[in-house]
Amino acid sequence: MSITEVKPTTEVVKQEKGLQDLVYDLVSRFLVENKSKSVNDLYDLILSEVEPPLLQAVMEKRRGNQLQAAKILGISRGTIRKKLLRYFGTKYFRLTDE
């Protein structure tokens, strides 16, 4: 009779979380970390954190083309212009790569 050594595997299976799960986790963590503070206007706070990188990523993907970026986002060109101006000033209105 032989003795077989069994080694427990500590290999972690990586599971990709969906966007909703990531947002949920981050918002939950934010609320826990700020439970002693008065949190008001959470919706606006979250939007002001999420919209700029969303707009930036789509604008970069579309090489600054506001009409194409607006179509990807499902918003009008006027709306994307307003949001870009709010978050980035005139950066995305220039035609050069500066």
CATH of domain 41-98: 1.10.10.60
Tell me the C-alpha to C-alpha distance, in Å, between residue 55 and each of 12, 30, 42, 72, 94. Answer: 34, 23, 20, 10, 16
What's the pTM value of the predicted model, to 2 decimals?
Answer: 0.70
SS3 97: coil
Residue 12 has pLDDT above 90, yes or no: no
As a residue count, the chain comes to 98
Q: How confident is the model at residue 17 (pLDDT cuts 50, 70, 90)?
A: confident
* Distance from chain centroid for Cα 82: 19
What is the residue extent of each domain of the chain?
A: 41-98
Taking residues 75-80, report their average pLDDT: 96
- The answer on pLDDT for 4 being more than 80 is no
- Cα separations in angstroms, 56 against 11, 27, 38, 65, 73: 36, 22, 30, 11, 12
